[in-house]
Structure 1
Amino acid sequence: MDDPITAIDTRFSEPDAEPTSWQATQEVLENAQMTWVTTVRADGRPHVAPLAFGKGTFSHTRHVPRPA
């Protein structure tokens, strides 16, 4: 499988910004204990969901223990 192509939306970046390579991104994700994806609902409210990353794929996790 080919690596994803990374790109930057210049509307939200510094003029000299460069996209992060997929290899660098994958390394960070594989070493993270938990990753969060943030999106915006159609009505403008934010939505945040935990994801696990391993073996080159994402898994949605339904339960995240809260810190004591």
Structure 2
Amino acid sequence: MGERLAALSVDLDEIGCYAAIHGLPPPSGDAARAIYRRAVPRFERLFDALGVPATFFVIGTDVDDENA
């Protein structure tokens, strides 16, 4: 059997980004940074457990945000 190959990437678009696209008010409180505070650690644990390398794509304005 041949070697299994795959490329895995994760787009880290914040909830506020989707709210803006759809004309909704921005989220507040914990929801505003849920992607970075909750989802990223979960993805990291999952990928580490499976031995899967992954690439995370971040929105540029989020990179400068110390709360992200």
Same fold (TM over 0.5): no
Which is bigger in relative contact order (C-alpha 8 A, separation at least 6)? 2
Q: Which has the higher strand share?
A: 1
TM-score range, shorter chain: under 0.3
Relative to the length of structure 1, the TM-score reads 0.25
Q: Which has the higher helix share?
A: 2
Relative to the length of structure 2, the TM-score reads 0.25
